[in-house]
Each structure stands twice: as structure tokens, then as C-alpha cells.
Amino acid sequence: MSGLLIAAPSSGSGKTTVTLGLLRALRNRGVALSPGKAGPDYIDPAFHTAASGKACLNYDPWGMRPDLLHANAMAATANGEALIVEAMMGLYDAAIDGQGSPADLAALLGLNVVLVIDCGRMAQSVAALVRGYAGHRDDVHVSGVILNKVGSDRHEVMLRAALEAIGMPVFGVLRQNATLKLPERHLGLVQAGEHAELDLFIETAATHVEAGCDLDRILAAARSKAPRIAVADAAPLKPLGQRIAIASDTAFAFTYEHLTSGWRRAGAELAFFSPLADEAPAGDTDAVYLPGGYPELHAAQLAEAGRFRAGMISARDRGARIFGECGGYMTLGEGLVAADGKRYAMLGLLPLSTSFAERKRHLGYRRVKPVDTSFFDGPLMAHEFHYASILFEGDADRLFETTDAAGTALGLAGLRRDRVAGSFMHVIDRAQPS
């Protein structure tokens, strides 16, 4: 397998822009590649797909079974593609239990690491930083660095000299560029589908990377020393039904590609619809999935979507299984209080009211155990990330028993009423058998 992990000492170093530019520059050269994103991120993969033209998979070393990571990586590179994975946070940053860092993923899949360094406020100190990251673990190999936000020719000379003294290859030098900044909001980057000029941004990033980096050396570093590991196709998460309707638009965009592709491999038929366009799930579906997203930004529009509401009630009445995650869970409830304090009626399929006006960050990996097997047939790995607060959860069965990554009990979460269920947990994968 050929592959690289594009990592950094910390968030904010520029690795997303560098990764997007690298993916597009290699695509423009005709290089066969497959993009990936480490961790539970459900926003960046859409940018990677836009840059590369290939579906981006998540590779989460905490939330996914090793067999699934290997199987997905092997499938993604089966035709000789280079796997280019963007890390999350810093190279050695992990969950509260110390597991699941990008370094863990690099070691597991045999990916060489390219370290993107924000050099805007340092010079010779770069050598000490890089030496520490390169030598921290014997099973993680830093092949080279890309120096980002370099201020001048003199600054570049100082940086190169320091790194030459410790024998660290410099794969590229990128100057400050104020135009290469993506807008953000409360859960991360503004979504790829909301950028009118996204392709222009990516092409600009590609030009920047092409001019400043040695793409041939980067491709050479992608040749992994790890042997290809033959694994059986890991059993995917059980599909919600045989014919699954999935909400998909800017309000419901947090869908993991590895989950939907796993459902397809298990024989499920998937169809997509847009609640924001006031579309209803198809009448022959036996399951409906409302993924996470930003319903709090579109609450008024969702409250007025009569066909969507009628279609969801019809699906419930004919016995379809309906499942909502995070934003989807909020939408299944009775009401949502937006940032301006105004309450909007939601679907009313679960006794739940939530508020985005009363914000509190909830963030972290979760181990969840279904209270019964109505929706899931065993323990799961999940992730929680939202700012909304629960105002009211009423008379319904609870969905999950939950703990954090360290094993601390967090109590019961989510609701189930007959064949309608949801929670704030983003399900990632089955739990690894003990």
C-alpha cells in the first residue's frame, strides 16, 4: 500500500489547506489517489472529495475496529492508488484514554508522515520541535516536513539550515497567503457545499502547493514499508433496513461514507432526499435516517416543510424504522429553540425539546450499549459533538447506556418510542469484540 499521513504539531498549522492543495495538484498530474480523514470529522471529507474527485473515507483509530481500518484502506488502494490521509489535531493527540492519535493510525496502516509546521513565529527552534516529533515513537516515521507561513527568503534560509543540521528533509516551503483561509462556524469549517467558489479556492491551493513543494519527493515518501495485510472484509454496522431513505442537504450532511458504503455492501438500497427542499422520504422505504448537521441554522425552514413533515409521519405510521443522530435527533423532537430564542416546531416524533440559544459544548468519544436490540445488535463506538442543550426529554424508552473514552459512566442517552429513535451520539462502528 502507498500512503501518507499529512499531520502537524497542532490544529491551526494549515494541514487542511495543504492537504487540499496536494490532493488537487496530484489529481491534476493524473496521479491515482484516495483521500482520507483521520478521526471522527464529518466536515473535512467533503472538501477532500471535492479536491480529489474520489469519495473520502474516515479512518478513526479510536472509533473503528483495526480490521475495518485495514479493509477500507486496502479497498481504497486496490488499484494502486496512493492513500493521502489528513490527520486531526496534533500528531500525538488522542482521546482521554491516550488511544486513537493520528500516530496510532500511521503505525497501524504503515503510513509515512509528512509534518506541516506553522513557522510564522519561529526560526531555528523548528529543529527542536521536529526532532521531538520525529523521535517520539519508534513505530512512527516522519519522512519530511512542509514549512508553512514562511515570511521571507531569509526566514527560509534559517529554517532550512536548522533542519539540515538534524537530517530532516524539507519537502516544501509555503509563504504566507491571506487568500487561503476557509471560513469556520461552531462545529468546524463552513461546509463544502456552501462555498460558491470552492473549486477556485482548491485550484489556488493546488497552485500554491505545486509552486512550493517537491511533489516527486512527496510521492516517493508515500511508498510504505509496511506489507499489505490481508483481512476479510470487516462486517459492517447492521443496516437500519433494506431500503433506507437518508436526509442529505446542508442541514443534514454529517454522514460517514464508511457507514453508508457498508450498508450497501450488506445489501441495503439507499436513496437520498432533502428536507430543506421540502422533500419526503420515498414511500417504499422501510427505514429513514436523519444524520447530524445544522438544523439549528435552518429551523424556520424545516418548521415550514410540510411535505417533509407529512412524509416522516407517514413513514412512522406504516412502520418504517426512523433513526436520528445529533441534528437529526433534534429534528425528531417537538421543538427547537434557535439562537435568537425563538422556538420552532419540529417533527414531534419523539418527546424532546432542544435549544441552541442555551449553548454548552459536549465533545468526546463515547462507548454506547443499546438498551435493547430494536435498532442495533451490540455495543458501539461513537462520538458526541454539539452545542445544543436538552430542555426536555419525556416519556419514552432510553436508547443507550453510555461511557466516555476513559470508561466513566455517563448514564442513559437518547430516546426510543416504538420504531422511532435517536440520540446525540454519532455512531462510528461496532465495538471491537472483547
Catalytic residues: 326
Kindly give, in sequence order, each residue whose CB lies less than 8 Å from that of residue 315, ignoring residues fewer than 6 positions away.
Answer: 245, 281, 285, 288, 322
203, containing H or E segment = helix 198-212
Pairing state between β 321-325 and 420-423? parallel
Angle at 152 between CA 146 and CA 155, to 5 degrees: 70
114 in Cβ contact with 146 (< 8 Å): yes
- E strands within 39-81? 57-59
Query: Which 8-state DSSP code applies to residue 414?
Result: E
All three cell numbers of 417, joined, read 418510542
φ, ψ of residue 210 in degrees (nearest 5): -60, -40
Cβ atoms within 10 Å, residue 276 = 18
Cell of 314: 407517514
Q: Grid coordinates in use for 404?
A: 466516555
Q: Which residues contact 183 (CB under 8 A, 6 or more apart)?
A: 189, 190
Q: How many CA atoms lie within 13 A of 410 on its CB side?
A: 21
Q: Are 292 and 396 in contact (CB under 8 A)?
A: no
Nearest Cα residue to 140 out of 53, 224, 253, 261: 224
CA atoms of 119 and 361, how far apart (whole Å):
31
